[in-house]
Amino acid sequence: MLPNLGLLEERVLLLVMILEDAYGVSIAEAYEAQIGKSISVPAVHTVLKRLEKKGMIESHMGPATPERGGRRKRLFDATNYGYRVIADIRDQRLKLWSMIPKLNRYG
Amino acid sequence: MAKPTSSTPPEPPQWANRFLEWYCAEDLLDEIQGDLLEIYQHRAKDKGVSNANILFIKEVLLFFRPSSFKKKNPFENLPIMLSLFQSYFKTAARNIWKTKFFSSLNLIGLTIGFTSFLLIALYIQYELSYDRYHEKSDRIYRVAQVQKGNVFRGSDRFALAPSALGPAMEANFPEVEATTTLRVNEFLFTKDQETFYAEGLFCDDALFDVFSFEMIEGNGPAAIADPNSIILTQSFAKKHFGDSDPIGATLVMETDKSVVVKGILEDPPKNSHFLFDYITSFKNLSYYEPNEWDSNNYYAYAALKEGQSSEEFAAKLIQLDRQYLPKRDGKPVSESKFFLQDLEDIHLYSQINFEMAANGDIRYLYFFGAIGLIILLIAAINYLNFATADSERRAVEVGMRKALGARRRQLVQQFLGESILLSFISFIFAILLVSVLLPLLNNYLGQQISFSPGSDPKIFFGLLSLALLIGGFSGLYPAFFIARVAPVKALKGQIIGIYQKSNWLRNTLVTGQFVAAIALAIGSIVIFQQLKYVQNKRLGYNEDQVVYIPYFNSEVYKKSGLIREQLLENAQIEEVAISQYVPLNMYSSHAVNDWEGREEKERISIYASPIDYNYLDVYGMELAQGRNFSPEFPADSTDRYILNETAVQALGWEDPIGKQFNGGEVIGVVKDFHFQPFQLAIEPLYFILGTAWHFSRRGNFSIKIKDSQDLQATLSYIQTSVSDILPGFPLEFQFMDESLKQLYRSEHRLSRIFGIFTLLALLISALGLLGLVSYNVVRRTKEISIRKILGASAMGIVNLLSKDFLRLMSIALIVATPIAYLMAQKWLESFAYRITLSWESFMLVAVIAIVLTILMVGLQSLRAALTNPVDQLRN
């Protein structure tokens, strides 16, 4: 029985899977771009930490850049487990949504 | 709107940044600060700097939460530290193993140093601890006396007291808590069929009020109050009664007095200034009279009340005669002034007349302490030198490590670790060595020194910290030089510059070592020579082939004629004499104030020795003038004297024969002979014919034996003869020459111990020299090889290398010789008869030192000189 994810967690997980270089800044900026709402870096970090703790993503340290004042970045990738969770969520959604009679009318 | 692009990127508010850096954990800073800075740049570009600033500040504040903070857990580093130490340990051990030769030299030197130091420290501690066994030891005093004008053996102080002194002190001085008067005497005992001599304490009732001897069985005070009782010490009881209970058993003293064993005493500790096997009442001494002022035969001890000042009391004590002594003919009954001696100081500081047993000497302790420190210093200097030389040798290794990124701290820790590890190993070895050697030492010195970490934590941990200190310092010191190693230069081999100073220092230290070792060696030789001189000096009488038998029993005297006859039957026995003393140690002297030609008020202090007709023969003493005692002259047995040459000189006579002396007449002059230890000059002495009055209580048989092969047969003949005539009389031969050796036992010991420590010091210094030479040779291997190639001979190379060391050695000799000379001179002055310092001994040491140096340098450099230079230059 795979666990449930909060909305933020789901979205961040999706973004990790979408982005090639997923890290704090890139996720925050992509979130703002795709969903339209701004999100603070600390919030992203918190969610990422939670997801990593749940085993859905893993991280490694990446190269440093001068833009970051010589600091390295922590890059994230989804784990197989993470993919299964996301797939499960998608299936669940699709299943329920396909049962709404009226939704077909909206395309 | 075209904004001018700024040449430098915008920066977030620094205070916020710094705040972040302050609270944030190190390992999180990368992602957090990095992300914040990056997004700041993006925002600054997209929405403007002020927007970026605001958001930056906001997010820094948002990140301020527990999960970002620096962990204060001290134990988080522990597992790392542990494995790091493991690595250091392994590296250190491996390095030590790799340089086996030098490491073991080092180890040996340091171990010897620690062991010597430890043994000496234990010995000193033991000597300082004499008489502390007693509970009141800090307020117990022996009461001794000064007799002005009566100089005996170089001192007018006597450890003795009259029997009336104790009670007089208790009666008149409230400061005194208790006094006890006692004496140690040797008596003949009979138990069932066994007879034996035993030495014990004869005392008044108050012994236990002053001293804290422990009773194992029975009531102490009651037993000594009763003259029919005796207390035995534990080991004495064991020796004569085995495992059975001696309480209630009867012993017979001196063939006529029975005493019952009423108590067992715990053995008094060996570090006491008097020892004994039993305790019994004074009343068992036939000549004992309580409350008598006339004879000083006893030892008085007083315990002052707590808090009393001994100085104040001592001042009062001096007044004793004026106020408190009973008077006789208007003058106080005793002319002595009494003074106090701290109980705890007697063993080391008291060298007055009539001590109960030979005391130690504080000067020896200082002396040995100094030697111990010197040896330790030499060993430590060695260690330091080795460590420095070692780091120099490994300069290349150090350079490489630095090039590979080793931090200075790591390097220092590495060398430090090796140094401390080796030092610690030496410490362990030293402890083991001490536990093995200590019983031997105890045997040799007749003492009871014990050592274990539990019982002597001070010394144990003291030495441990010393070891760690030496190790630590030796590890740190070269670190100064390690720090300055420039990696590139070192790898190229250009390291000379940095180590110049260390070289100079090292040479100085080695020279210092040798100064100390040479001074010790010279001292050792001098002591040895003096001792030899003392032993071989013609004593003025014949001491070999003389056996003497002391006796303490009137029965023996009664049968003495018979004994002499019987002994003379044996062809090997030449002559037998009876006398009160043997020429070993006479201590009966008195003042004479009556002789021909005496000036008003003149007095002479002269030794008296009652002898018989045969005495001079037995000892081969020659007469300078006149004749021996002879039965032909009946007056001889009443008032005729034979004086020694010193006496004649002191009396100022040219022609002594026939002169009046002390109520009698002089019939002969005997050539001077030594009857006291060599520290003292020969004093005036007279012989008289002794009578039963002199000889009955105690005396000596002196037997002259022909110089023959079968000494054993003669001795057993003597034994059987005496036991036939006196069954039950325990015979104790003494050989005159053996007893003399005993007399100088402490000087002998001093010489031996000094010699041993000198050898040790020399050994350690030699090790140091060896190490230094080896390093030197190794360092100059390339130079040597090149020289060889250019045509230098092996001898030439040896010469070159020895020059430096010979120079050091010569300096050491020049410095050491005057020091040694002065100290030797000072020591010799304490002997009345002494050798003169000859330059030969100094020369001997110098030659040995130089030869040693040449040999060592020679061996090492020869090895280098003979190797194929090509191999050496390949590196």
- Between chain A and chain B, the number of residue pairs with CB atoms below 8 A apart is 62
Position B491 scores a pLDDT of: 65
Provide, as residue numbers in chain A, all residues whose Cβ is less than 8 Å from the Cβ of B37: 67-69, 71
Going by pLDDT thresholds of 50, 70 and 90, the confidence category of residue B61 is very high
pLDDT digits 0-9 by tens, B393-418: 677 777 777 777 777 777 777 777 78
Average of per-residue pLDDT across B334-339: 76
Assess whether pLDDT exceeds 70 at residue B366.
yes
User: Is B31 within 8 Å of A24 when comparing Cβ atoms?
Assistant: yes
Position B119 scores a pLDDT of: 87
Assess whether pLDDT exceeds 70 at residue B332.
no
Mean of pLDDT over chain B: 81
- Max mean pLDDT among A50-54, B111-115, B572-576, B594-598 falls in A50-54
pLDDT digits 0-9 by tens, B687-706: 988 888 788 777 888 888 88
Assess whether pLDDT exceeds 90 at residue A48.
yes
The length of chain A in residues reads: 107
Backbone phi and psi for residue B642, each to the nearest 5 degrees, phi listed first: -115, 125
Average of per-residue pLDDT across A24-39: 94
SS (H, E, C) B116-179: HHHHHHHHHHHHHCCCCCCCCHHHEEEEEEECCCCCECCECEECCECCCHHHHHHHHCCCEEEE
> Nearest CA to B269 among B347, B190, B202, B333?
B347
Assess whether pLDDT exceeds 90 at residue B635.
no
Assess whether pLDDT exceeds 80 at residue A25.
yes
Position B321 scores a pLDDT of: 64
Position B871 scores a pLDDT of: 67
Provide, as residue numbers in chain B, all residues whose Cβ is less than 8 Å from the Cβ of A63: none
User: DSSP state, B4?
Assistant: P
Position B72 scores a pLDDT of: 66
Position B413 scores a pLDDT of: 75
Average of per-residue pLDDT across B440-460: 76
Position B495 scores a pLDDT of: 55
The B-side interface with A (CB below 8 A) comprises 9, 29-39, 41-42, 55, 58-59, 62-63, 67
pLDDT digits 0-9 by tens, B734-783: 787 777 776 667 677 777 777 788 788 888 878 877 777 777 777 777 77
Contact B16, B60 (CB under 8 A): yes
Task: Give B783's Cβ-side CA count (13 Å radius).
Answer: 10
With tokens 């030198």, the residue in question is: B385
User: Is B62 within 8 Å of A29 when comparing Cβ atoms?
Assistant: no
Average of per-residue pLDDT across B838-863: 80
Position A54 scores a pLDDT of: 93
Helices (H), B704-829: 711-725, 736-743, 745-779, 781-789, 794-828
Provide, as residue numbers in chain A, all residues whose Cβ is less than 8 Å from the Cβ of B39: 24-25, 28-29, 41
Assess whether pLDDT exceeds 70 at residue B74.
no
Poorest-pLDDT segment among B644-648, B678-682, B725-729: B678-682
d(CA B382, CA B550) in angstroms, rounded, equals 55
User: Is A42 within 8 Å of B34 when comparing Cβ atoms?
Assistant: no
Average of per-residue pLDDT across B471-495: 70
Going by pLDDT thresholds of 50, 70 and 90, the confidence category of residue B483 is low
Q: ∠ CA B691-B695-B700 to the nearest 5 degrees?
A: 130
Contact B121, B372 (CB under 8 A): yes
Provide, as residue numbers in chain B, all residues whose Cβ is less than 8 Å from the Cβ of A49: 67
User: Is A41 within 8 Å of B42 when comparing Cβ atoms?
Assistant: no
SS (H, E, C) B409-425: HHHHHHHHHHHHHHHHH
DSSP-assigned letters across all residues of B566-597: HHHTSTTEEEEEEES--TT----EEEE--BTT
Q: ∠ CA B662-B664-B668 to the nearest 5 degrees?
A: 105
Poorest-pLDDT segment among B359-373, B531-545, B548-562: B531-545
Position B422 scores a pLDDT of: 85
Percent of chain B with pLDDT over 90: 6
**Strand, helix or coil for residue B332:** strand
Task: Give B42's Cβ-side CA count (13 Å radius).
Answer: 14
Between B488 and B134, residue with greater pLDDT? B134
Contact B225, B205 (CB under 8 A): yes
Min Cα separation B1/chain A (Å): 24
Average of per-residue pLDDT across B637-666: 87
* A positions 18-57 inside 8 Å of B (CB): 23-25, 28-29, 40-43, 45, 49
User: Is B59 within 8 Å of A61 when comparing Cβ atoms?
Assistant: no
Percent of chain B with pLDDT over 70: 88
Provide, as residue numbers in chain A, all residues whose Cβ is less than 8 Å from the Cβ of B67: 49
Provide, as residue numbers in chain B, all residues whose Cβ is less than 8 Å from the Cβ of A40: 55, 58-59, 62
With tokens 């977030």, the residue in question is: B12
Going by pLDDT thresholds of 50, 70 and 90, the confidence category of residue A38 is very high
Backbone phi and psi for residue B604, each to the nearest 5 degrees, phi listed first: -130, 140
User: Is B59 within 8 Å of A42 when comparing Cβ atoms?
Assistant: yes
Min Cα separation A85/chain B (Å): 26
Average of per-residue pLDDT across B212-241: 88
Provide, as residue numbers in chain A, all residues whose Cβ is less than 8 Å from the Cβ of B59: 40-42
User: DSSP state, B294?
Assistant: S
Contact B832, B678 (CB under 8 A): yes
Provide, as residue numbers in chain A, all residues whose Cβ is less than 8 Å from the Cβ of B58: 40
d(CA B610, CA B581) in angstroms, rounded, equals 8
Assess whether pLDDT exceeds 60 at residue B4.
no
Report the residue of chain B nearest A23, measured CA to CA: B35
Average of per-residue pLDDT across B628-651: 87
Average of per-residue pLDDT across B236-242: 87
Assess whether pLDDT exceeds 80 at residue B114.
yes
* A positions 53-82 inside 8 Å of B (CB): 61, 64-65, 67-69, 71-74
pTM for the whole thing?
Answer: 0.68
Please name every residue paired with B688 in a beta bridge, in sequence order, or none if there are none: B610
User: Is A41 within 8 Å of B59 when comparing Cβ atoms?
Assistant: yes
Between B466 and A15, residue with greater pLDDT? A15
Assess whether pLDDT exceeds 90 at residue A32.
yes
Report the residue of chain A nearest B30, measured CA to CA: A71
User: Is A64 within 8 Å of B39 when comparing Cβ atoms?
Assistant: no
Going by pLDDT thresholds of 50, 70 and 90, the confidence category of residue B44 is very high
Average of per-residue pLDDT across B193-219: 86
Assess whether pLDDT exceeds 70 at residue B494.
no
User: Is A40 within 8 Å of B33 when comparing Cβ atoms?
Assistant: no
Q: Which of A42, A69, A72 sits opposite B63 (nearest CB)?
A: A42
Assess whether pLDDT exceeds 70 at residue B30.
yes
Average of per-residue pLDDT across B250-278: 86
Min Cα separation A84/chain B (Å): 28
Average of per-residue pLDDT across B487-512: 67
Poorest-pLDDT segment among B133-142, B568-577, B724-733: B724-733
Average of per-residue pLDDT across A4-9: 91
Poorest-pLDDT segment among B18-32, B47-61, B699-713: B699-713
> At B405, which amino acid appears?
G
Poorest-pLDDT segment among B189-203, B236-250, B317-331, B588-602: B317-331
User: Is B38 within 8 Å of A64 when comparing Cβ atoms?
Assistant: no
d(CA B817, CA B79) in angstroms, rounded, equals 58
Assess whether pLDDT exceeds 80 at residue B31.
yes
d(CA B94, CA B100) in angstroms, rounded, equals 10
Assess whether pLDDT exceeds 70 at residue B322.
no
Provide, as residue numbers in chain A, all residues whose Cβ is less than 8 Å from the Cβ of B30: 61, 64, 71-74
Going by pLDDT thresholds of 50, 70 and 90, the confidence category of residue A47 is very high
Assess whether pLDDT exceeds 90 at residue B106.
no
Poorest-pLDDT segment among B103-117, B277-291, B595-609, B736-750: B736-750
User: Is B34 within 8 Å of A40 when comparing Cβ atoms?
Assistant: no
Number of CB atoms found within 10 A of residue B135's CB: 11
> From the candidates B18, B39, B63, which should be mutated to test the interface with A, based on the most A CB atoms within 10 A?
B39
Poorest-pLDDT segment among B3-17, B256-270, B603-617: B3-17
Poorest-pLDDT segment among B249-253, B301-305, B704-708, B816-820: B704-708
